Structure 1
Amino acid sequence: MPHAPRTQAMVNMHGMHALPATVTDADPRTGVVDVVAQGMALRVHFPPASMLNLKPGDKIGLYMGYSQANVVQ
């Protein structure tokens, strides 16, 4: 899976990586998506409108990273 393009908001990000995942549940009302990735159950959140078409069994790519003390709004 290719790496996500870096944006200015990602300059102070650490641990950036791509993670293939399988959707196990998706709530279009809240934007909460449950997935299994590398044998781990994860719960992630997206703006509800961006994940309306996700359903259990869908294969997706998560692009993850973190920053310390710089909260991206």
Structure 2
Amino acid sequence: MIKVTTLNGKELVINAELIETVEQTPDTIITLTTNKKLIVLEDADDIIDKVIEYKQKIFSPPENSTPLNPTLF
């Protein structure tokens, strides 16, 4: 999930997994896989950075995790 801001200043949290395209015209238009379009204040590079940060958080091991013992498998 990432936070974006609509043109009227309303903050939305959207599912980053549903983003299909991000267009940078004068405005930034996010198209979701549901065909819903959102016009947001953030530019395309900011959206990309937010998605990368989100994916790194969900796919990185927890900081205090111990690796699995391969001899158990």
TM-score bracket, normalised by the shorter chain, equals 0.3 to 0.5
> TM-score when scaled to structure 2?
0.34
Which has the greater radius of gyration? 2
> TM-score when scaled to structure 1?
0.34
> 1 or 2, which has the higher strand percentage?
1
> 1 or 2, which has the higher helix percentage?
2
The one of the two structures with greater contact order (alpha-carbon pairs below 8 A, sep at least 6) is 1
